[in-house]
């Protein structure tokens, strides 16, 4: 029997699931990434220690959503770049068009274990150690402090407000 503390992270599985949900529904999947030294991204597009990337089929080639890394090739300002992101540096995945997605806690190296990590521009999300595992936190692109590469202004939900559910009978 596997010890729950030894189980693999749910983060890569949730990223893949939300990516698939976005593409199945004709939405554009974006990832917000904490851009530290372990992340291979074009540094000129990093703002406030973060970068937001369009990971749609049309924007990438050779996309691999692995358990340890997200890897792909993309063009930035017409120049092809190889992107490699450790899954632990992904702070959110969401649909550009409506802001629906999920934010993740960020493991900050050398941070005290009892102090929750906080990414700039996002509220901390409790982790499994706090007993609040599995909590889904809705996000909206307006909460992110960066602009996706290639876009002139940050994505915003239609109508400017929060997405809401409507019951249809």
Tens digits of pLDDT across the chain (169 residues): 656 666 788 999 999 999 999 999 999 999 999 999 999 999 999 999 999 999 999 999 999 999 999 999 999 999 999 999 999 999 999 999 999 999 998 765 554 444 444 444 444 444 444 344 444 444 444 344 344 444 444 444 455 555 555 666 5
pLDDT reported for residue 5: 67
Residue 154 and residue 141 in contact, taking contact as beta carbons nearer than 8 Å:
yes
pLDDT reported for residue 8: 81
Domain locations in the chain?
7-126+133-149
Q: What is the DSSP letter of 83?
A: E
Q: Which CATH architecture has domain 7-126+133-149?
A: Roll (2.30)
Q: Which two tokens stand for residue 75?
A: 């063009």
Q: Which two tokens stand for residue 125?
A: 């999300």
In the block, tokens 């909590």 appear at 135
pLDDT reported for residue 116: 43
Backbone dihedral region for residue 72 (phi beyond 0: left; psi -120 to 50: alpha; all else: beta): beta
User: What is d(CA 2, CA 135) in angstroms, rounded to the nearest whole number?
Assistant: 22
């Amino acid at each position: 029997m596997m010890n729950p503390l030894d189980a693999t992270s749910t983060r890569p599985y949730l990223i893949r699931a939300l990516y698939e949900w976005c593409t199945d529904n004709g939405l554009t999947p974006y990832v917000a990434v904490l851009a530290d030294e372990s992340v291979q991204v074009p540094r000129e597009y990093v703002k406030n220690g973060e970068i937001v990337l369009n990971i749609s089929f049309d924007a990438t080639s050779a996309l691999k959503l692995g358990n340890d890394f997200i890897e792909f090739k993309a063009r930035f300002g017409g120049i092809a770049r190889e992107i490699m992101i450790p899954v632990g540096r992904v702070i959110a995945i969401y649909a550009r068009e409506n802001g629906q997605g999920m934010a993740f806690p960020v493991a900050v190296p050398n941070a005290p274990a009892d102090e929750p990590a906080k990414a700039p521009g996002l509220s901390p999300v409790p982790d499994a150690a706090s007993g609040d595992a599995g909590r889904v936190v809705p996000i909206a692109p307006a909460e992110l402090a960066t602009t996706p590469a290639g876009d002139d202004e940050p994505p915003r939900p239609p109508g400017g407000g929060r997405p809401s559910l409507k019951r249809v009978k």
